[in-house]
Structures are given as structure tokens and as C-alpha cells.
Amino acid sequence: MNKAQPQLPRTRHERELAALRELSARVGSDPLLVQASNGNTSIKLDGILWIKASGKWLAHASQEEVLVPVELAEAREAVEHGTEIAKPDVLKNKVRPSIETAMHVVLTRRVVIHVHSVNTIAWAIRLDGPQKLKERLDGLRWKWIPYATSGIPLAQEIEKAVARAQQTDVFILGNHGLVVCGDDCLTAEKLLCEVERRLAIAPRPFPQPDATVLGMIARLSRWRFPDFDPLHALGTDEVSLKILKGGVLYPCQAIFLGRTMPLLPPTLAVSKFRERLSGKDRTSPFAVVERRGVVLNERMTSAQRATLIGLVQVTQRTEESARLRYLNGAEVEKILNGGAYTARRIPWTAGTFPRRGPPGSGEQTRQR
Ligand SMILES: [Zn+2]
């Protein structure tokens, strides 16, 4: 009839998938919710779980295909038994479902949104998080999920919580992030906004960086002065610096930024900075100069940059008095070196966690 009209999605499936893609692009474009390829969304449609593919960015959902179909019944069985699930056509195209697929599989609601919300993480790293959130989330159907490795262990923790309270649609993942569910995209996104509103924390103001010293380092080395001012808080804000020195707070920090970072004293001569930063610390994506600010490795990837920005947003929202739970050595080890173990047990994730790039590349290629 009117051929000039833009083509609208015709079937219910197409409409729902289009809604999920729009939601994914919106959520993925908010750096307070999602950083780089982390975070994932899914919808269950007639026995198929459509979930974000590993390594894809939710923010790109309206420009490229970020969803991958998974047979739900097979996936459920795989979660139960840890057996092969990846479909040959999926593997042929080298598109794999997210490492966090198991979590989406065990949740029965049709739409699931998982984000690394900085406001949620600021609560999820606190030892008193469960108590503090009682008041803030009062009236919502929420559960605190103690930290568990992504994949089967986390899915099992969520399953246990759902078994105790089937209507739960908000999950605070200890040392990790947030999951909300709904029967459709609109309901799930509204719930996400409501949780975000309740958990919002204003970031602390921070002392300005020492542009003279950092500028000299940038001129004399391959390290750069950040183009995003709040990053300096990791060096100039005493509380953030103290938190950072404590260790790894959540998986993406370890995956993209490493276990530790170069920490340089404020009194070091500029020539010594150069020496340090071209030596053993040269592959770190960033370095902190106490009380002066932060410099970035010129080879830093966009994923590392997004993760670092997320990290400073978390530390600037965390009070000095808060007692924090850091990931222990074994947990960090499992995150960084668990690929082989995960691949043996859950083949659909095989290869999604490649090791560090070539020495000196500064590249981190692990995907969520
Ligand atoms: Zn996650």
C-alpha cells in the first residue's frame, strides 16, 4: 500500500527482540551502568534464550547484532550437569553467549538485565551491604547474593535464592553488580531505574591533580595525562587511594586492570618516574602518583579505560568508614586463570577468556 513507510517489526518475536536491542543500547550507553563489554541482557522467547554475545558491547546493540540464540532446555540441562551446550552454528560464527549465560538461564522471568552499576557496586563491596540496603530497597523483592565466580557457581547461588523466594526480581551480586528481571522489557527497565534511584550515591569532590608533574611525565615518557578529569581522584583523593591500595574489589577490576597498579610516591624525581614506568610497570594500563594524580599507558585499550572510569566512580562513592570486602587471592586467581577450568566444565564459554595479550601490548582481551 504505502511502500515508502519504514518497515516495522512484524511478529511478536521481532517486536520483543527489537525492544531488547533498544533497551540494551540505552543501558549500555550509560557508563554508570555498563563499562565496555560487561553487562548483559536477555529475553526468553518460545524456548530460545536470546542473550548478549560474549565480547559484544551492549552500547552497540542498535548498530550490530549483539544477541545470540541459545536453546533454553539444553542450556538448563547444561547448567545442571555442566555438559556441552554450544551449538555448531554458533561456534562456526565464533559468536558465543556471554560467560554469564548460566545466570540468565536459571532465572525464570522472560527479561533479565545484568549491569555493573557503579552505585550498586559501591554497596555490594561493603561488609554491611545487606544491612544498609534493607532500608533503601524496602518494599522491593530483592536478595543479596554472596560473591560467587561468574558462570555455574553464580547461577547456583541465584538458584538457591530464587528457591527461597520465587518472586525475587532484584539481585544484588556481592562484589559484582546488579540483576533485575521482568516479564517484558519495559517492566525490567522500569525496575532497573527504580533500583538505581534508590541506590544512588553522590560522588565525593576530589582535590585537583598536579598538572605540572603529570604533564612532565607525559612529555618524557609513553604515559599520558588523562582526558577524563575524575580519574585523578584515584591519586588525589585520600579515601579512594586507600581503597585502591586494599586490593581487588570486583572481577572486572582484576580482568582489565590487573591485581595491582604502579603506585609512585609524590616525591620521586621525574626522571625516576620515567625509569619506573618503562621498567616492570610498563604494561600496566595506568599508574597512580600519590597526591598528584593518574597517568595512563598510551597503549591502554578502550575497555581498560571504561573499566578504570567505572572503578573511580565506585571508590568516589565509598565512604572512608565503610568496611569493605575485597576478593581474596583464590577468588582473583580463579577469575584470571579460571579459563581452562571453565572451558572444561562449561564448553559454551571455551575461549571466551583468552589470556593476556603479548607482553607489552597492554591488551586485555577477556570478555564478559
Ligand atoms: Zn557481571
Average pLDDT over residues 159-188: 97
Residue 288 Cα to ligand 1 middle (Å): 26
Q: Per residue in 259-316, pLDDT tens?
A: 988 898 888 777 777 777 777 778 899 999 999 999 999 999 999 999 999 999 999 9
CA distance 352 to 96: 8
Residue 174 Cα to ligand 1 middle (Å): 11
Residue 15 Cα to ligand 1 middle (Å): 26
pLDDT confidence of 359, banded at 50, 70, 90? very low
Residue 253 Cα to ligand 1 middle (Å): 11
Q: Is the pLDDT of residue 189 over 50?
A: yes
Higher pLDDT, 41 or 223: 41
pLDDT confidence of 57, banded at 50, 70, 90? very high
Q: Per residue in 16-48, pLDDT tens?
A: 999 999 999 999 999 999 999 999 999 999 999
Q: Which residues pair with 260 in a beta bridge?
A: none
Q: Is the pLDDT of residue 363 over 70?
A: no
Residue 199 Cα to ligand 1 middle (Å): 18
Phi, psi of 153, deg, nearest 5: -60, -45
DSSP 277-324: HHTTTTTSSEEEETTTEEEEETT--HHHHHHHHHHHHHHTTS-TT--B
Residue 303 Cα to ligand 1 middle (Å): 14
pTM exceeds 0.85, yes or no? yes
What DSSP element (H or E) covers 199? helix 185-199
Q: Per residue in 62-85, pLDDT tens?
A: 999 999 999 999 999 988 887 655
Residue 190 Cα to ligand 1 middle (Å): 20
- Pairing, β 170-173 against β 177-182: antiparallel
Residue 38 Cα to ligand 1 middle (Å): 6
Q: Is the pLDDT of residue 157 over 60?
A: yes
Phi, psi of 350, deg, nearest 5: -55, 130
- Pairing, β 170-173 against β 67-71: unpaired
pLDDT at 266: 85
Tell how far CA 323 is from the center of its chain: 22
pLDDT at 348: 31
Length reported for the chain: 368
Q: Is the pLDDT of residue 357 over 70?
A: no
pLDDT confidence of 366, banded at 50, 70, 90? very low
Residue 73 Cα to ligand 1 middle (Å): 23
Q: Which residues pair with 181 in a beta bridge?
A: 112
Give the range among 24-28, 81-85, 131-135, 364-368 with minimum mean pLDDT.
Answer: 364-368
Residue 295 Cα to ligand 1 middle (Å): 27
CA distance 343 to 1: 53
Residue 216 Cα to ligand 1 middle (Å): 38
Residue 149 Cα to ligand 1 middle (Å): 10
Residue 334 Cα to ligand 1 middle (Å): 15
Residue 179 Cα to ligand 1 middle (Å): 9
